[in-house]
Structure 1
């Protein structure tokens, strides 16, 4: 199958990773084209046909739309798969210059309503909660999956190691996590992996709370799984998510995961591994995990035993079935 993916590059975060992993997996047996920025080149394999495009241009500019239409005509895809609503609108509007009507699949990565998402022939939500905000002509749920890698052991340190992963943005709740840890009385080390616009604000907070020797903003790393694997606890403190890739990475690599009470976290993890979205409750839960570690390990193992449901192979198979349903193959 010839599949054209589109991705508006901002930085390598959750949406970008889902698109890249899916393209890389599909390229083993399909012809994959990706419309995106040249910045994504280092993340995709050599089988993928990258077509560099700047999606910052006006989505209503007829010259730009004609350029997109020419690309679509040259690629001649069976399916167009978009990962951002802006590109969905562009792909739809470009059809005025085309004779054939290529089906458009759109993935809804976050539980936020976007009216223009109704232009998609098929909307794919990454969780059942996100599906409530997915308003395409037809809507289904496909859980995210990740490619599994072998993890490497780090040098051991005599501290309780906590990890958090994500874009440094208010929506990720890292400020609440830092504040919560300022209230505990055991020896720990928190490492936050990611880049983003909230970096200076978080650095200031760390300094104000005198946590410079305990909390570290590591930035972007290429081996996130190694850091997760070598931690005692992974925390997802987000105040909004679709289906967090950090949660799926935890299923494969973490010993214990604690997550905020959003999305389908409680449904997946159970009450014990979810905290009320307050600094105080987060602090209490972390303290409880530290003091009763083996109990929480056993609780999290219930989800880890289902890890095959969250593989990249399972995800790609579900998407292929969705594509074929549109093509009636």
Structure 2
């Protein structure tokens, strides 16, 4: 098959990761190409076997010069399938398809209404929730990742269980205790669970290396969230929380920061990402006097390491489709909680979903019963490990292509 992907973004994010990972797998057996705007910033992530075409025309979905430019490229390459990602790409593909002997496929990644997907015949929905926003039958195919074994969370689960078993075997001086005792026990178990956590280079996790919080200064493949207190005494222990995503209002990081301001225990919150809301979020952090506890850490190119090194991963989005960070959390996060948005409840167990107004209470509950949540998170989501693998996604995707009318 000759397959071209169309993506109208210059910047790397969740959708772009899906495009890149898909093409890097498909190019092993098919002739593939990627059509993107010029000055695209993520092309170095592509396999050398993937042909790249950067269009020069003005990037507007109703620009006839853009239609003509993409038409010429597809025709000269003899492509059989054009796979568009996102509403703008779907609109462009919908027009170009009328003049070419190829089949258009459009992937809808979120549950926001976009009429073009009602007109495209072959639509892939990122989740069942997304499929309900399309006025005809769409194929639901969950994306997947190829997990990095050194960060997969079953090792954290095993260490936490060992710590719990050891605590249960220890002589008990009292049959009950107050909430501070429970929190202390949880801190000890969490500390034990992370004590042997290793960095990608094999060094024991410790204080993070300081770096400038400006996003442009932080593009590094070796970013590793500090596990401050991993080897510390209980009185120095700090509960680490992480969130990752584009700094956009829709991601709800302001809600997370407000919830953090209500926490009554020692913690650190690191938010990884870049975007237009950065200054507003920093102003909120400053107004709540959380500068010593909450940091905007800029772009993170090693999400697996960031999730694996934190105690708790939080998705606080106001709206979502089926975010890649959810899939990464299933593999790497010791505990992940999320708002009930998009396709997330299709994967995440009810125990790990929350209402925004109760977020601080949920975090405190996890803090005080940490070993229970680690154990439950692993057991309730381990079955999705096979479903949410990249090779599984590629298998279904190729079958879909082969069965197109």
TM class by shorter-chain length?
Answer: over 0.9
**Unaligned regions of 5+ residues in structure 1, if any?**
none
Query: For residues 193 and 304 of structure 1, do their structure 2 counterparts lie closer, same or farther at Cα, with a shift above 3 Å needed?
Result: farther
Q: Quick check: 1:282 aligned with 2:282?
A: no
Query: For residues 316 and 90 of structure 1, do their structure 2 counterparts lie closer, same or farther at Cα, with a shift above 3 Å needed?
Result: same
SS at match of 1:34: strand
Root-mean-square deviation (Å): 1.7
What's the counterpart of residue 262 of structure 1?
A: 341
SS at match of 1:289: helix
Give CA deviations for 1:236-289 in whole Å, capped at 9, x if unaligned: 0011111111110011101001111222433422221111132xx000000000
1:96-111 aligned within 5 A: 96-98=98-100, 100=101, 102-111=102-111
CA displacement at 1:40 relative to structure 2? 2.4
- How far apart, CA to CA, are the structure 1 residues paired with 2:111 and 2:288? 33
What's the counterpart of residue 71 of structure 2?
A: 69
Query: For residues 142 and 189 of structure 1, do their structure 2 counterparts lie closer, same or farther at Cα, with a shift above 3 Å needed?
Result: same
Give CA deviations for 1:38-78 in whole Å, capped at 9, x if unaligned: 32212212111111124743433333322221111012112
User: Which of residues 47, 50, 55 in structure 2 aligns to 1:48?
Assistant: 50
What's the counterpart of residue 168 of structure 1?
A: 247
SS at match of 1:4: strand
SS at match of 2:400: helix
User: Which of residues 206, 214, 220 in structure 1 aligns to 2:299?
Assistant: 220
- Contact residue 258 and residue 274 of structure 1 kept, 8 A: yes
- How far apart, CA to CA, are the structure 1 residues paired with 2:301 and 2:60? 33
Query: For residues 184 and 59 of structure 1, do their structure 2 counterparts lie closer, same or farther at Cα, with a shift above 3 Å needed?
Result: closer
Query: For residues 55 and 114 of structure 1, do their structure 2 counterparts lie closer, same or farther at Cα, with a shift above 3 Å needed?
Result: farther
Query: For residues 61 and 265 of structure 1, do their structure 2 counterparts lie closer, same or farther at Cα, with a shift above 3 Å needed?
Result: closer
**More displaced, 148-157 or 179-188?**
148-157
**More displaced, 222-231 or 147-156?**
147-156
1:205-244 aligned within 5 A: 205-244=284-323
- How far apart, CA to CA, are the structure 1 residues paired with 2:15 and 2:122? 18
SS at match of 2:134: coil
- How far apart, CA to CA, are the structure 1 residues paired with 2:57 and 2:25? 24
Give CA deviations for 1:139-192 in whole Å, capped at 9, x if unaligned: 110011112224452324121111101000011110000110110111111111
**More displaced, 55-64 or 38-47?**
55-64
SS at match of 2:297: strand
- Contact residue 2 and residue 30 of structure 1 kept, 8 A: yes
SS at match of 2:319: coil
Q: TM-score when scaled to structure 2?
A: 0.76
SS at match of 2:403: helix
- How far apart, CA to CA, are the structure 1 residues paired with 2:107 and 2:244? 22
Give CA deviations for 1:203-248 in whole Å, capped at 9, x if unaligned: 0011111111111111112111101010111000011111111110
What's the counterpart of residue 31 of structure 1?
A: 31
1:183-202 aligned within 5 A: 183-202=262-281
Query: For residues 198 and 177 of structure 1, do their structure 2 counterparts lie closer, same or farther at Cα, with a shift above 3 Å needed?
Result: same
SS at match of 2:347: helix
Q: Quick check: 1:312 aligned with 2:314?
A: no
What's the counterpart of residue 117 of structure 1?
A: 117
Query: For residues 21 and 253 of structure 1, do their structure 2 counterparts lie closer, same or farther at Cα, with a shift above 3 Å needed?
Result: same
- Contact residue 4 and residue 34 of structure 2 kept, 8 A: yes
- Contact residue 124 and residue 140 of structure 2 kept, 8 A: yes
CA displacement at 1:17 relative to structure 2? 1.1
Q: Quick check: 1:6 aligned with 2:83?
A: no
